[in-house]
Amino acid sequence: MARYTGPVGKISRRLNLGITEKGQRILSRRSFQPGQHGPNAKRRKVSEYGLHLVEKQKARYMYGVLERQFRNTFDRARRMPGETGDNLFSLLERRLDNVVYRMGIATTRRQARQIVNHGHITVDGRKTDIPSFIVKVGETIAVRPESRRLTYFQNIGLPGGGSGSRVPAWISPEPTNLAARVVSLPTREDAEQGIRAQLIVEHYNR
């Protein structure tokens, strides 16, 4: 599956938002735009379309989703009952790679995606190696028994130990089993902040 593998610092500076912890560190040191004239360049006034596009790009890069996949996720969110923006972030949060990240098994979403791709994760006991798999309420995500013997997984101190952040309330961790259960749908407050969902909806509805 294709994914963005470019420099996160440059993207973070362009969008003025740290798309990863590393991107945030770079942005805090070099808050100006990337490029030869970045330190002296003023941020240009952005059109309405540009504002919409930037918000969409923020969500795409933060969750590590390419354009076509992001558009498909948006279309799915639009068909669901409720607010499209809230539905969109609920789907993004329930991607398997993001759930693994939120559990604390990985320090970044990139690493979580790799862990899923390598077949270390099960959903309700079934090996699942598709990072875009949408986890449902009631399903249990766990490290495969065969993988728990690996040094990396033996050194993880859940909950939230790998990612260094608190496990959100919609995930109920089982630290001794390197597992967690999705107990409710994530809300917009549970998702990444600093992204205006309504502008993403307007971008695709224009």
Tens-place pLDDT, residues 101-153 = 999 999 889 999 999 999 999 999 999 999 999 999 999 999 999 999 999 99
Domain boundaries, position 138? 95-184
- For residue 150, being part of any structural domain is answered with yes
**For 28-59, how does the pLDDT look when each residue is reduced to its tens digit (9 = 90+)?**
655 555 554 455 556 567 788 888 998 999 89
Tell whether 16 and 73 lie within a shared domain: yes
pLDDT of residue 28: 61
Tell whether 85 and 101 lie within a shared domain: no
- For residue 104, being part of any structural domain is answered with yes
Tell whether 54 and 111 lie within a shared domain: no
pLDDT of residue 7: 63
Tell whether 83 and 29 lie within a shared domain: yes
Tell whether 134 and 84 lie within a shared domain: no
Tell whether 67 and 116 lie within a shared domain: no
Tell whether 79 and 112 lie within a shared domain: no
Confidence check: pLDDT of 69 > 90:
yes
Sheet holding 171-174, edge to edge: 126-127, 121-123, 140-143, 179-182, 171-174
- For residue 73, being part of any structural domain is answered with yes
| pTM score | 0.81
Tell whether 149 and 82 lie within a shared domain: no
Tell whether 57 and 122 lie within a shared domain: no
- For residue 2, being part of any structural domain is answered with no
Q: Measured between alpha carbons, how far is residue 138 from residues 13, 127, 171, 185 in Å? A: 39, 17, 10, 10
Q: How far is residue 32's CA from residue 107's CA, in Å, rounded to a whole number?
A: 26
- For residue 1, being part of any structural domain is answered with no
Give the total number of structural domains in the chain. Answer: 2
pLDDT of residue 114: 95
- For residue 37, being part of any structural domain is answered with yes
